[in-house]
Structure formats: C-alpha cells, structure tokens
Amino acid sequence: MDEVRLQRLLDVGRSLVGVLDPEIVLQRLLEVARELTGARYAAIGVLDASREGLERFLTAGISDAVGRAIGDPPRGRGVLGVLIKDPRPLRLADVAAHAESYGFPSSHPPMRSFLGVPIVIEGRAWGNLYLTEKAGGAEFSASDEEAAVVLADWAAIAINNARLYRDVREQRDELERTIRGLEATTEISRALGGETDLARVLELVVKRSRALLDARAAEIVLADGEVGAVAGEAVSGEPALTVPVTFRNRPLGSLRVYGGPFGEEDDRLLRAFAASAATAMATAQHAGEQALRQSLEASEAERSRWGRELHDETLQQLAGLRMLLAGARRSGDRSRIDRALETALEQLTTGIGDLRSLIADLRPAALDELGLAPALETLVGRSSSSDVEVDLDVSLDGRPPAEIESTVYRVVQEALTNVLKHAAASRVAVVVRDAGASIEVVVRDDGAGFDPHRRSTGFGLVGMRERLALVRGTLDIQTAPGGGTTLRAVIPHG
C-alpha cells in the first residue's frame, strides 16, 4: 500500500471513530471506499438478527431513479451470500462468472469486477462492504483489498463506539426519566402530607405530568366525566397518551397528556405517576368528605341546641302562660285574673329577654351597628356571673372586615360557651389585639383543662377550626387535665 493511501486511511480512521451517529459512519464509509479503490459503485449490507440474510442494503453511485428501476434490494443470496456464509475478503474479476452468481435484474447497471470484505464487530459478523466496477475496467488489486479491509475495521470500531454511545445515552435518558418520575412522585407525596384541597391536588397532578413527559398539555378527567384540571393547550388531532387513575380498585378518573409521540416507556412512567396521583386525590377527596360530614354534624348539633333552647324555655313559658290565663278566665274571679295578668307580664318580660339573648347569639345587632369591641363587651357581660369572672381586653386599629369581625366574635363566643359548660373555671381572660399582619385572639381560663386528643373532635372546636379556615386563620390549644386551657387563634389581615 502506497504512502498516500496509507495516510488517507489514517485520516479517515481518525474521523470515523469520532462520529457518534451510525448512519453518518456508513455513508462516509461508502464514499471513502469508492475514493480509495476507484470503485464506481459501493454498498453495505447489514445482516439481520439470524445472520443468514441482509436486513438493510445501502448504496453509493446508483441514482435514485436506477434504484427504483432495479426494485427490491438484495437479501443476501448469490455472491453476496458467499460473504455471509464465509465472512472473508472476496475479490473477483467478473462477478457474473462466479458459480454462486444469480445474475442481475434487467434494469441493473453492468458490474464486472467485485471486491467484498466483512465488517466484524466484537468478533461477530455485522455486515459486508461491497465494491464493484473498478475504474477503467480493471480488476481490484490486493492493495485495494487491503485498503477495504482497513476501512471495514475502522468502520467496525466507529459503529461499535456509536452503538455504545447510543446505549449510554439511552441509559442516561432512562435515568433522567426515572429521576423526573421520582421528583414528580415526591411532589405528589408532599401534596399528600400538606394539601387536602382537591382542586389544588388536581392542578398539581396535571402540571407535574406535563413536565414529566415534556408534553404540550395535560388534563385529568374525573370519574363522573368532569374535567378536573388542565395544563397547557392541546392541538386537535395530535397524539395523546391516556392512563387510568385508580385507588384501591376504585376508578377516580383518567390522566391524559398531549403532544407525543409517546412510547412504551412514557406509558410506564405515566402509569407509575398516576398511581401516586391517585393516592393524593383519594386523600383530598376523603378530607373534603370528612370536613363536609363534620360541618353537617356541627350544624345539626347547633340546630338541636337552638331547638332545646326554644322548647325548654320559650315554648314551655308560653304553654304555662296559656294555662294560667285560661284558668283565670274560666274562674271568673277578678282578683285571680289580675294576679294572672301580672304573672303573665313578668313571664313575658323574661321570655322576651331570653329570645333577645337567643337572637343575639345567632347574630348580635351590636356587631353590625357598633363594631366588634361593643359586641364582645355585651357577650362578656352576658357570660359573667357570680361563679365566673370574665375579663375583656380589646385593642384594635380600626374595624376589621365584616367576615373577620364575625369570625373573631364566634370564636370568642364558642370558647366562652365551652368554658362555662365544661371548665369549672373561676376566671377567664379574653384578649383581642392587632399583632402586626394579623389579629390575635386569646381566651385563657383557670379551669380543669382537658385531654386535647380526646376532645379534639368536639363540635365546638370543629366549628372554630372551620370558621378560621375560611379566613386563612389558625387555631392552637394548650391544655392539660387540671392545668387550665389557653386557646389562641391568629387571623391574617385581609
């Protein structure tokens, strides 16, 4: 081999091993092989999985029109099959004269001289390099064969490098997908621990699933057919991937992403994500159902309390008055009638006072007309007695919004009711004050205290927590049996 050709082979080798795309390696191999051997035509046959035929056949030197006229590419019979069965270099002066030759199709260009060398990767035949019709009608020389063998070896190294790079890249992509899946699952797990609002959970699910698969859009459809949340904007007719969202064999809906194409790995990843999303959705749904159930129970208990108040006090008073007046009228005794009227007036006065208290508990007029401080003073005045002394300290800069005023009033009202009914306290301190960005409510008593874990489901506490949640407030209770109770509510301004 002359020095010029050898230097060219070295240069080609350096360039080939640096290419990480197998298709580019094969195309460059065809071009350089024709250049170095003077072949008019070159081809590469890639073996199929059984290594008994050709899976692909790439050519150089044959125009597209001629290729279409020839028809289907060869599958590895005839002389081409000789190299498949016996992967060693084969050089022929006239390919048609070989005993295994099948001849050429009618539209095939004439080819006489032939040179074929195997491409071997890691000791196994991968394909073959075919060269035909050397320039000037000459035969391919031993030097041509040597150059073709070197080229095939360079190509084998480059193709193997490209395959290894592809494998590493696929593994890297798989790892990245796995990490994205873990991140998405972790995000959903955080929602599980700290988010019980179903709408927020659904929003989080569609956003994270869209990011997970780098999709154009994502949506979640609930079991009743309602669209729960959407992220991005889908294009009509574009590929979509849909997976079910199921929790303990109970269908919650379906999760769909748009903008593929999506593969099996995408399907597997989305299904794994949907399993985590289902847990978060079921938890949020359960929390919502539980909150509704507690709210209904609290409302029912409140109705029962008002019913008892009206039945035990007002209705019984009215029934007693009716009997008193009816008996006096039947007697015809004027003095008895006068005494009955006097008694009736006293009882009516008491009944009116009781009804006013009941109405004030429902919605105190002072709260709307005068503000929070006067309403609380009236409430404390009604709550104080010879057994329990209630101290009130209100320090506010202006009037808060009506919703916050109402919440503060109800929290103090419920807290005082609990103290008077259950605490056996002698003194209660109520403090309502501005605390920078929030209003702080503290109700502290010196009563018997209680076990918060045993009493935390009481309707009073449930009602307070629900009211505070509506204004983004928080409730903290410090208590222990025999140690009194301190209730602290914090409500942000606005």
> Do 278 and 142 share a structural domain?
no
- Identify the domain boundary among 290, 320, 349: 290
Task: Return all residues near 274 (Cβ < 8 A) that are at least 6 apart.
Answer: 209, 243, 244, 245, 246, 255
Q: What is the pLDDT of residues 372-391, one digit of tens each?
A: 888 888 888 877 777 889 99
In sequence order, the β-bridge partners of residue 304 are none
Q: Quick one: 49 exposed, middle or buried, by C-beta within 10 A (0-12, 13-18, 19+)? A: exposed
Q: Is residue 364 part of a domain?
A: no
H/E/C letters for each residue in 130-171?
Answer: EEEEEHHHCCCCHHHHHHHHHHHHHHHHHHHHHHHHHHHHHH
> Do 261 and 405 share a structural domain?
no
Strand order in the sheet with 438-445: 389-395, 427-434, 438-445, 485-492, 474-479
> Do 201 and 151 share a structural domain?
no
Q: What is the pLDDT of residues 291-335, one digit of tens each?
A: 556 655 555 555 555 556 555 566 666 767 777 777 777 887 888
In sequence order, the β-bridge partners of residue 429 are 391, 444
- 261 prior amide bond cis, ω within 30: yes
Q: Of 391, 409, 400, whose CA–CA distance to 438 is shortest?
A: 400
Q: Is residue 59 part of a domain?
A: yes
Q: Is residue 341 part of a domain?
A: no
Around Cβ 31, how many Cβ atoms within 10 Å?
Answer: 13
- Would you state the structure tokens that stand for residue 265, as one six-digit string? 């790995």
Report the C-alpha gap between 402 and 416 in whole angstroms: 21
Q: How far is CA 28 from the centre of its chain?
A: 47
> What's residue 457's pLDDT?
46
Strand order in the sheet with 240-247: 227-232, 217-222, 250-258, 240-247
- Would you state the structure tokens that stand for residue 376, as one six-digit string? 């609380």
> What's residue 243's pLDDT?
92
Residues in the chain with pLDDT < 70?
A: 1, 180-182, 184-196, 286-317, 319, 353-366, 368, 452-460, 494
> Do 390 and 425 share a structural domain?
yes
Q: Is residue 81 part of a domain?
A: yes
- Identify the domain boundary among 134, 167, 200: 167
> What's residue 290's pLDDT?
61
* Residue 440 structural domain: 371-492
Residue burial 316-338, b: 16+ Cβ < 10 Å; e: rest:
ebeeebeebeeebeeeeeeeeee
Q: By 3-state DSSP, what share of the chain in percent is helix, strand and coil, each rounded to 5?
A: 55, 20, 25
Strands 485-492 and 474-479: antiparallel
> What's residue 482's pLDDT?
83
In sequence order, the β-bridge partners of residue 255 are 220, 243
Q: What is the pLDDT of residues 74-130, one digit of tens each?
A: 888 889 989 899 999 999 999 988 988 877 877 888 899 999 999 998 888 899 999
> Do 35 and 127 share a structural domain?
yes
Q: Is residue 328 part of a domain?
A: no
> Do 161 and 45 share a structural domain?
yes
Q: Is residue 338 part of a domain?
A: no
> Do 381 and 252 share a structural domain?
no
Task: Return all residues near 443 (Cβ < 8 A) that are at least 6 apart.
Answer: 411, 412, 415, 416, 419, 428, 429, 430, 431, 486, 487
> What's residue 375's pLDDT?
86
- Identify the domain boundary among 167, 191, 207: 167
Q: Of 42, 26, 54, 58, whose CA–CA distance to 109 is shortest?
A: 42
Task: For residue 210, give the 3-state DSSP assignment.
Answer: helix
Around Cβ 302, how many Cβ atoms within 10 Å?
Answer: 14
Using CA atoms in the order 162, 29, 73, 22, what is the torsion angle rounded to 10 degrees? 10
> Do 376 and 468 share a structural domain?
yes
Read off the CATH number of the domain in which 430 is found.
3.30.565.10
Instruction: Report how many domains make up the chain.
Output: 3
Strands 114-121 and 227-232: unpaired
Residue burial 106-115, b: 16+ Cβ < 10 Å; e: rest:
eeeeebbbbb
> What's residue 112's pLDDT?
92
> Do 432 and 380 share a structural domain?
yes
- End-to-end CA separation in angstroms for the chain: 89
Q: Is residue 240 part of a domain?
A: yes
> Do 134 and 45 share a structural domain?
yes
Q: Is residue 375 part of a domain?
A: yes
Read off the CATH number of the domain in which 20 is found.
3.30.450.40
> Do 157 and 11 share a structural domain?
yes
> Do 20 and 153 share a structural domain?
yes
Q: Of 277, 24, 42, whose CA–CA distance to 159 is shortest?
A: 24
